[in-house]
């Protein structure tokens, strides 16, 4: 790939406007991640002091962070992108997993609501 012609004219340097534009997505990602991390940290604190998480794509425009507390309670939080979701989980100090299988799945404690809901789906309700 060739260099951008506008940069070549300035000896390869980026203008201050280009620098600000290039840095903007990272700053925005960080702000969004910090906002979501507050919720994740609160969840972990309320459910045993620590939590595990899986960050998974929900489609082209969102990411779901599934969180399992030390006490087995679980919940989720939606983030606008995978980068934001992963960074939020990191900022919250969650233990990240690649998938929701094995030990992480076994930690989840399901209640009466979940069992009724699952049975309803099986029974067409």
pLDDT of residue 111: 79
Average pLDDT for 27-35: 93
pLDDT in tens, 65-121: 999 999 999 999 999 999 999 999 999 999 999 988 888 888 888 878 777 777 666
d(CA 94, CA 48): 12
CB 109 within 8 A of CB 70: no
Alpha-carbon distance of 117 to 55, in angstroms, equals 24
In this prediction, residue 11 carries a pLDDT of: 47
Helix, strand, or coil (residue 59): coil
Cα torsion through 90, 60, 28, 98, rounded to 10: 10
pLDDT at 96: 95
Looking at the DSSP assignment, which residues form a beta bridge with residue 54? 66, 97
Q: Which residue has the higher pLDDT, 71 or 23?
A: 71
pLDDT at 18 exceeding the cut of 80: no
Which residues lie below 8 Å from residue 12, measured CB to CB, with a gap of 6+? Answer: 3
């Amino acid at each position: 790939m060739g260099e951008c012609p506008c940069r070549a004219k300035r000896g390869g340097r980026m203008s201050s406007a280009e620098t600000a534009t290039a840095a903007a997505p990272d700053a925005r990602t960080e702000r969004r991640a910090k906002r979501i991390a507050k919720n994740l940290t609160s969840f972990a604190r309320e459910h045993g002091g620590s939590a595990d998480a899986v960050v998974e794509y929900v489609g082209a425009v969102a990411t779901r962070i599934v969180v399992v507390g030390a006490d087995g309670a679980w919940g989720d939080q939606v983030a606008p992108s995978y980068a934001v979701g992963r960074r939020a989980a990191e900022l919250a100090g969650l233990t990240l997993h690649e998938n929701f299988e094995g030990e992480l799945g076994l930690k989840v404690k399901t209640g009466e609501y979940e069992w009724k809901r699952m049975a309803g789906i099986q029974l067409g309700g």
